[in-house]
Copies of this chain bind each other. A is one copy, B any other.
């Protein structure tokens, strides 16, 4: 159950409104690296959590924090759209293309669809789609999904920070970057608590003797020229990271491809596929 108060989690200030930056900020709202995604991801992981309750409780906390990040960014987009041009005054023939440049560069739907406000879309205007909410029911797998989300999230925030020279926006982003630092560490801490690298292979509840033991710790090279060796790396020699075996290299096994049966008469194929005739 959720509550709010009429505060932002952290100050949002825009010194020089810029509708092009508004478009870029949308990536942090509705992009796959954005805040709607992490918010829903942590909440859905919490709501489906089976096993120790402490993880559910922690996921609820951070999922709730993230709603406030969407709120901050949505506010930032709206403030960057103050005074945005509403009129495409100049024809394409005019020499000074400035209004066109800003209007062409903006997300036109910030004018047409939202009335100068944020939308749950990314920087290209593509709506967020909840297939990106990773909640697999496997706690360790989900923690890696969360580290990934916060890593791409912090990378995005850093790119936005570098893109702007607005002091207010830089301050807000330095806060969001800091939170991403914490969250990366937080999900790693859960992995440590679960056993660190020993959680692998995920899921660890599957009896490993039932997997094919000839191909589970070998780097498989697909180089066409078998006389060449694949580039060496930590993944081609030494103990495997899960501590259960040693790395080696191999080639693809290869077996003959089975022929599918002929098409059946009522399957909608061409007659020629049904008779398997004289080609």
Contact = CB atoms under 8 A, between A and B. Distances in A.
Contacts of A214: 178
Given A5-B1, A104-B104, A27 B113 contact: yes
A188 B130 CA distance: 28
Nearest to A75: B47
21 contacts: A1-B7, A3-B5, A3-B64, A5-B225, A19-B92, A36-B130, A48-B118, A125-B126, A139-B272, A144-B147, A147-B148, A151-B203, A154-B201, A155-B268, A178-B214, A179-B220, A185-B200, A185-B217, A189-B240, A195-B272, A205-B268
A115 B102 CA distance: 24
Contact of A254 (B8, B43, B182): B8
Given A260-B78, A276-B51, A132 B131 contact: yes
Contacts of A277: 52
Interface string A195-212: 101011111111010111
B151 A177 contact: no
Interface in A93-144: 93, 95, 97-98, 100-109, 111-141, 144
Size category, A interface: 35 or more
A181 to B, nearest CB: 4
A185 to B, nearest CB: 4
Contacts of A95: 98
A126 B124 contact: yes
B224 A4 contact: yes
Nearest to A49: B260
A194 to B, nearest CB: 6
A68 to B, nearest CB: 5
Interface centre among A5, A130, A137 (most CB of B within 10 A): A137
A97 B101 contact: yes
Interface string A136-167: 11111100110110111011101111111100
A17 B93 CA distance: 10
B103 A105 contact: yes
B44 A252 contact: no
